[in-house]
Amino acid sequence: MKTTTRVCVIGGGVVGCSVLYHLTKLGWSDVMLIERSDLTSGSTWHAAGGFHTLNGDTNMAALQGYTIRLYKELEEITGMSCGLHHVGGVTLADNPDRFDMLLAERAKHRYMGLETAIVTPDEIAKIAPIVNLEGILGGLYDPLDGHLDPSGTTHAYAKAARMGGAVIETHCKVLETNSRPDGSWVVVTEKGTIHAEHVVNAGGLWAREVAAMAGTYLPLHPMEHQYIVTDDIAAIYERDSEHPHVMDPAGESYLRQEGRGLCIGFYEQPCRPWAVDGTPWDFGHELLPDDFDKIGDSIEFAYRRFPVLESAGVKSVIHGPFTFAPDGNPLVGPVPGLRNYWSACGVMAGFSQGGGVGLTLAQWMIEGEPERDVRAMDVARFGGWITPGYTRPKVVENYQKRFSVSYPNEELPAARPNRTTPMYDIFDRMGAVWGQQYGLEVANYFAVEGEPRYETPSFRRSDAFDATAREVKAVREAVGINEVQNFGKYLVTGPRARDWLDRIMAGRIPAPGRLSLTPMLSERGKVIGDFTVSCLTPERYQLTASYGAQAYHLRWFLRHQEDGASIENISDKRTGFQIAGPRAREVLQAVTRSDVSDIAFMDVRALVVGMTDCLVQRVSYTGDLGYEIYCDPMAQRQLWQTLWDAGQSFGMQPFGMRAMMSLRLDRFFGSWGAEFSPDYSAAECGLDRFISFRKNTDFIGRSVAEAERATPPDRCLAVFEVDAEGADAHGYEPVWIDGTVQGFCTSGGYAHHTGMSVAMALIPRDKAQAGLRAEIEILGKMRPATLLSEPVFDPKGARMRG
C-alpha cells in the first residue's frame, strides 16, 4: 500500500470515486482512495439511481446538469456502462402554489439553458399514461431526467481515476487521522500509515465518525429510506418505450420503470432517523427490515395516483439509510478550523450531484476556488454552534419536506428558537414575527393586534405586506430601531493590521475615526464579501458583513493571515441597534451628553449612550439618516430601554428585516447573496466603484479588477421598475429584451416608500440604458419593466449624508 500521497480520499462510494476522478482530470495524479470494505459498500449500493436537474438553487441545478452530462463521458473514457436510461421525467402539480413553484423553476431554466417545459394535464397523459390526473393542474417536464446503475457508475468513476494515476485501496479501514504542524495529515489504517498532504472526508454513512477522528463535527444524520420494486406490469412492459420518471410531490413519492415493472420510493411523514448515536463500523451491504407500516399512507396515496400499482405484486423492498445535512444540501469544501482537510459529505442525491461535487472540490483544492458560487453546499454555511441535537430535528424536517413547495419567504420551524439575543423576549412581547439566520432568531416584522404572528408562505405578496409598509413609513417619516446582532463582526488588531487589510480588501482602508465600504475579492476577482471597515485606532479595526457568512469569511481570513495582524470573530460579543430615519439624530442627541451634530457620514465614534459605552457609526443600510450603535451584549437591554424611552417623543417604531429589504430597494442597494456573490465580479455587480485602484497594494484580485476596469465585462447590474401584479421578483426570474432572454434578476421586491415593484438584474452592458423597455417573467407571466437610471428616493443621498 502507498505510504505517501498528495490526497487521501476516505470513502469509496460514488462521491469519493467522483472526487478521485476529478482530481486526476484536473491534473493531480498522486492521489489515492481508501475504503473500509468494497466500493459502494455504504448507501451507494442500495440507491435507486435516479438523477434529475430540478433544484431550487440555480448553481446546484447547473452542477446536477454537469453530473448528468458527465456519464456519457465516463462511458467513453472507460468503456464501461453506467446503465444510463435517459427517459425524461415530469413533476406533478396538484395545487396553485405547487404550480407557481414549477413556473418559477421553469423561468430559471430559461437562462440556464435547460430545456424543461411546463406541460398540461393532456400532455402529461401522453408522457406518463399511468398517472391518474384527477386534481392535477399541470407539471414540469425535464428530458434529462433518468436513472442508471449505481454500482456500474461508481466503478466507472473508479476506473477513470485509476487511468489518471489514482490508487484505490479497499478493505482498509481508517483508525485515526492526525494533523501535523505543517498542515499535512497522518492517516492510520488497518494496513499501515499514510502521510497525506490533504485529506478528503467522503465517508458517507460514516462521515460523522471520520470527522470525529479529526476533532471536528459535521452536521449530518442518516435517515431510513424505503422504496419498492414491483412485479411485471402489463401497462409497462407492453409499451414501445420506457416509461418516464414521475415525481408526485403531493404523494411524497418518485416513480420510474424498473425492468418490466415499476420502482416507487417515498419521503413519508412518519420518517425515522437511523443510527442516532453513530453508524456501526460493521454495517455495509445489509438492509434494514421492511417497514410497510411507516409508508402505509404513502402507498395508499400512490395507489390512487398510479392505479396500476394496486394490482401489482411486490418483487422486492429496499430499505436502507441515506445521509442528510440539516438543509438537504451536501457539505463540501475546506472544513473551517482545519488545514488541508476537506469535506465531500451529505450528498443525499449522489447520482444527481456526485459529479458536480467532485468537480467543485477538485477545483477548490487545485485552483484555489470553484468556478461558480457553491455557498449552498459549502460546509462553512453552518457555524461552530451547531450540535447533533440541532441537526437531527432539522434533518427530519428536511426529509419530510423533500417534496414540499419551497417558498421564497418560508421560515421552517424545527429546532427553533435556538440562538437568541437578550432582546428576544422583549421583541416577542412586541409582536415580533421571527425568522432565522445562521441559527439566530431575527425579527422579520412586528405584527399588531389582530394580525397573525406567522407569515403565510407565498410566491406572491404575503400577509407581511401591510406590516412592512407600516414599518417603512415609520423609518422614512420619523425613526425606526432594530438590532444589529445579525451582522458578522470581526476585530483586526496589531502593528500590521492596516497592511493586512489593504491586501485582503480591495477598497480604501479608512483613517482613524472613519469607516469605508469595500468589496473583498478572490484571486479570480469574484466578490466573496462586501464589508464595512471601521478604523478605531491605527492598530485596531472593526469589520462588519453578513452574519450568515461568518465561517466562510473567517476561513478566508485565517487562510491569508500574516504575522502582526490578529483576527477575532466578535459577531456574538458585540451587539446593539441601528436607528434610522429623519429624526435619528435627535434621538441620539437625547441619550448622550456628547455633541453628535458633528458626527459626519461615515464617521466612527466612541460614545456613552445612557449608561453604556458604545461604538457609534454614522451609516445605514436603509438609505436614510442613521446610526449603528454597538455595545456589549450584557448591556443591550439597558441600551434598548434608553433608546426606546427617548425615541417615543420622536415617533420611534421597531422595524424588521422585511422593512430593511424594502428600504434598501429605494436606494438601489445590493445585498449579499443576491447582487453580491462569488458568481460575479465587482465590475459586474457595481462594487467596482468602491475599489481603490490608487492604493499602492497588490490586493487579492487586483489584476482581474484592473483588467475589467480597462475592458468592462459584458454584463452589469441594472434596476427596473416592474409593472407587477401582486407578485414581485425574488431572484433568478429571466429578463426578456427584444424578445429573447438576455439577463436574470438577482433580487427584487416591493419598495413601499416609493410605491413600486423593483427588480435588480444582470443584463448586457450595452443594453443598460435609462428607459430600456424589457419584460420580466414572474410566475409564468411577462411583466413590463422599465430600467431606472437613478433611485427615485433621495437620488443624491442627501438624507443619508446630511
Over residues 296-332, the pLDDT tens digits come to 999 999 999 999 999 999 999 999 999 999 999 999 9
DSSP strand pairing (167-169 vs 31-34): parallel
Structure confidence at residue 138 (pLDDT): 98
Is the backbone peptide bond immediately before 791 cis, with ω within 30 degrees of 0? no
Alpha helices in 164-227 (DSSP H): 207-213
Cβ atoms within 10 Å of 77's Cβ, excluding its own: 17
Q: Which residues of 322-349 are buried (b: 16+ CB within 10 A; e: fewer)?
A: bbbbbbbbbbbbbbbebbbbbbbbbbbb
Residue 340 Ramachandran class (φ > 0 left, ψ -120 to 50 alpha, else beta): left
Structure confidence at residue 112 (pLDDT): 83
Question: How many Cα atoms within 13 Å fall on the side-chain side of residue 341?
Answer: 29
Our CA dihedral for 523, 527, 529, 530, rounded to 10 degrees, sits at 130
pLDDT tens string 359-378: 999 999 999 999 999 999 99
Helix (H, G, I), strand (E, B) or coil at 602: coil
Of the candidates 204, 527, 215, the one whose C-alpha atom is nearest the C-alpha of residue 369 is: 527
Helix (H, G, I), strand (E, B) or coil at 153: helix
Structure confidence at residue 193 (pLDDT): 98
Structure confidence at residue 740 (pLDDT): 96
Cβ atoms within 10 Å of 562's Cβ, excluding its own: 12
Instruction: Tell me if 743 sits within 8 A of 761, measured CB to CB.
Output: yes
Instruction: Tell me if 628 sits within 8 A of 594, measured CB to CB.
Output: no
Alpha helices in 340-435 (DSSP H): 350-367, 388-400, 424-429
Distance (Å, rounded) from C-alpha 247 to C-alpha 237?
20
For 445, the enclosing helix (H) or strand (E) is: strand 440-446
Instruction: Tell me if 509 sits within 8 A of 697, measured CB to CB.
Output: no
Give 286's contacts (C-beta < 8 A, 6+ positions apart).
none
Largest CA distance in the chain: 87
Structure confidence at residue 286 (pLDDT): 85
Q: Which residues of the chain have pLDDT under 50?
A: none
Distance (Å, rounded) from C-alpha 631 to C-alpha 613?
7
Structure confidence at residue 114 (pLDDT): 82
Distance (Å, rounded) from C-alpha 676 to C-alpha 578?
22
Cell numbers linked to 499 = 497592511
DSSP strand pairing (89-93 vs 245-248): parallel
Q: Which residues of 50-67 are buried (b: 16+ CB within 10 A; e: fewer)?
A: bbbbbbbbbbbbbbbbbb
